[in-house]
Amino acid sequence: MNNTQKKIAIGVGIISVLLIMFVIAMNIQIKSDKILKHTYINDINIGSLTQKEAIEKLKQKYTTKNVDLTYTDKKWLIKDESFDFDYDIDSTVKKAYDANRKSTFLKNIENTAKANLGSKNYVKMDMQYNEKKLEKEIKKIAKDINVDVKNATIAIDNSQVIVNDGESGLSVNVKESIKNIIRALEKGKHSEELIVTKVEPSIKKEQLQDVDTLLGSYSTKFDSSVSGRSTNIKIATSRTSDVLLMPGDTFSYNEHTGMRTLENGYKNAPVIVQGVVQEGVGGGVCQVSSTLYNSVLYSGLELVDIKNHSIPSTYVPKGRDATVTDGGIDFVFKNNLKYPVYIKNYVSGNIITCQIYGSSKDNQNIEISTNIDGVSVAPIKKVDDATLEKGKEKELESGRNGYTVSTYRIYTDQNGKVIKKEKVATSYYPKKQGVIAVGTMEAEKPKPEVPPTTKPEVPPTEPEKPEVVPPPTEPENPSTPPTQPSVPPQENQPVEESAVAQ
């Protein structure tokens, strides 16, 4: 072995010895009860302390647990118990103690060596809290800060369009505020400013400046004497009014009217259920939807969902009605125009009027026409009726013809020339069978006439003859001359009525 080799061998040996000594020294530190040097909990150095010493030191710092929140000149206090907050100092110190003990042997040696050379080891403070409860507390405070944003609006005054400017709002960013609060508490800070953002109106005045004309309008009459139906019509008309649709927005009739229930203010009135008119809550709302449907047709808006009644309506022509039901059939249309549209509905007396305002740049000359494509004659069913005299008939149920109707929207230019004709709907009204009772009862036969009974004639009796009185005898006085005796009347000699009567 030459000198060079000897020197190399000696060097390797020295290094090995030093390395072994280094490992032994590091391992002694690891086996000790002291926390790794230069270990910090936020700004508190707990390195080279025992776990017990570190806990006592941290308790001096982490005593306050309430949180002070601020925004501008306002302040709020959130108590620790309101969101179950507490510092877990024991767990934090244990985590710091394990920094050079829970990894692999070589990694533990490496971490210890770095700490000895001045490398700082930061450990995050463990905490316990209920984030849901903290969010609830922040939302309570937000009520004192939040300001509702106000979009620009439209109002109609004597058919004139008035555009009102919007207003900016304020809103507490709850999620980001919570993140900041937690970060502050981890550092031992107990005050934080809430994050509040300014909210600009989504619809500004300049976006509505082009709404300047009436695109479409339609009116229908109703019987105002039917109280429940009148109430329902007024509610539905009001709830579907004053609605602004930006380009691309859709309108759902059912969303605006809400469920037709007594709790929502609707009343009982006649409604059509499976083709039969009967009493139900919300009767009359379909007249409003049908009236609005016609104004939509004239405005040129896109129809998304439309369905006709099962019975032709009396207030609009066939093919121009729109039925709706709770949780089922809806009337939906879309603003497919370039500019916003504004829906204005109202009731005046017994007349419903639905109007759609928009930009004169979107105004079109539109006519609506319908065509009855087919008529299905109502069948008649005849049933025997033993209570009805034979040969006689009585209508039990009136029949109704069925119809298939096509609805068209016709676009014309200023000279009345047709530019485009589009089919917008096909309506089918099913026929209804009529029922007629036919008499089967036989008529009663006439009874023979019985002649009236008469009493037998009694022959008249002859009048009794007057008794003939014998003449008086001659008196015994001879000096008085004798009178002539009365001579009885001869046979067939007339006798005076008065003598007989006597």
pLDDT of residue 494: 34
- 346 with 272, same domain: the answer is yes
Q: How many CA atoms lie within 13 A of 127 on its CB side?
A: 22
Nearest to 87 by CA among 119, 128, 118: 128
Query: What pLDDT is stored for residue 75 in this prediction?
Result: 96
Total domain count, the chain: 2
For 282, the token pair is 């919300």
Count other Cβ atoms within 10 Å, centred on residue 306. 21
Pairing state between β 39-41 and 121-123: parallel
Which is it for strands 211-221 and 351-359: parallel, antiparallel or unpaired? antiparallel
Mean of pLDDT over the chain:
86
* Whether pLDDT at 311 is above 80: yes
Q: Rounded to an integer, what distance in angstroms lies between the CA atom of residue 219 and that of residue 290?
A: 10
CB 220 within 8 A of CB 316: yes
Same domain for 385 and 322: no
Position 252 in a domain: yes
Phi, psi of 402 (to 5 degrees): -95, 150
Is 408 domain-assigned? yes
**pLDDT score at 460:** 54
Torsion of CA 62, 65, 71, 74, to 10 degrees: -120
Percent of the chain with pLDDT over 90: 66
Task: Answer yes or no: is 47 within a domain.
Answer: no
Cβ count within 10 A of residue 397: 13
Q: How many Å apart are CA 465 and CA 470, to the nearest integer?
A: 15
- For the cut 50, the answer to whether the pLDDT of residue 456 exceeds it is yes
Do 218 and 235 have their domain in common? Answer: yes
Query: What is the C-alpha separation between 368 and 294, in angstroms, rounded?
Result: 9
CA distance 49 to 37: 8
Instruction: Tell me which range, 86-100, 344-358, 473-487, is most confidently predicted by mean pLDDT.
Output: 344-358
Residue 331 and residue 385 in one domain: no
Cα–Cα distance measured from residue 84 to residue 431, given in angstroms and rounded to the nearest whole number: 69
Q: Does pLDDT of 450 surpass 50?
A: yes
pLDDT at 476: 41
Is the pLDDT at 199 greater than 50? The verdict is: yes
- Is pTM beyond 0.85 here? no
Last residue of a domain, one of 348, 363, 378: 363
Domain termination site, one of 391, 412, 442: 442
pLDDT at 493: 36
357 shares its domain with 376: no
CB of 229 closer than 8 Å to CB of 184: no
| pLDDT of 254 over the 50 cut | yes
- Mean pLDDT for 208-231 is 95
Position 371 in a domain: yes
- Does residue 341 lie in a domain region? yes
Q: What is the DSSP letter of 286?
A: H
Q: Give the mean pLDDT of 61-83.
A: 93
Split at pLDDT 50, 70, 90, the class of 457 is low
3-state secondary structure 424-444: EEEEEECCECEEEEEEEECCC
pLDDT of residue 273: 65
| Two structure tokens written together for 417 | 């020339």
Structure tokens that stand for 3 in this block: 């000198």
Average pLDDT rounded to a whole number, residues 363-372: 96
Cα(266)–Cα(260) distance, integer angstroms: 6
Instruction: Give tens-digit pLDDT for 458-490.
Output: 555 554 544 444 444 444 443 333 333 333 333
- Give 319-349 pLDDT, tens digit per residue: 999 999 998 899 999 999 999 999 999 999 9
Residues 388 and 426 in one domain: yes
Token digits of residue 405: 């109707």
Which token pair is 193? 């400013």
Q: Tell whether 280 and 370 lie within a shared domain.
A: no
Domain boundary among 398, 424, 442: 442
Q: What range defines the domain where residue 284 resides?
A: 210-363
Cα separation, 346 vs 239, in Å, equals 10
451 pLDDT more than 70: no
In a domain, 77, yes or no: no
Is 357 found in the same domain as 216? yes
Has residue 262 got a pLDDT over 60?
A: yes
Residues 344 and 393 in one domain: no
Let me know whether 347 and 268 are in one domain.
Answer: yes
Cα–Cα distance, 305 to 320 (Å, whole number)? 14
CATH code (residue 420): 2.20.230.10
Domain match, 351 and 406 both: no
What letters, b where the CB count within 10 A reaches 16 and e where it falls short, cover 56-77? ebbeeebeeeebebebeeeebe
Q: Are residues 348 and 381 in the same domain?
A: no
Whether residue 406 lies inside any domain: the answer is yes
The reply to whether 219 falls in a domain is: yes
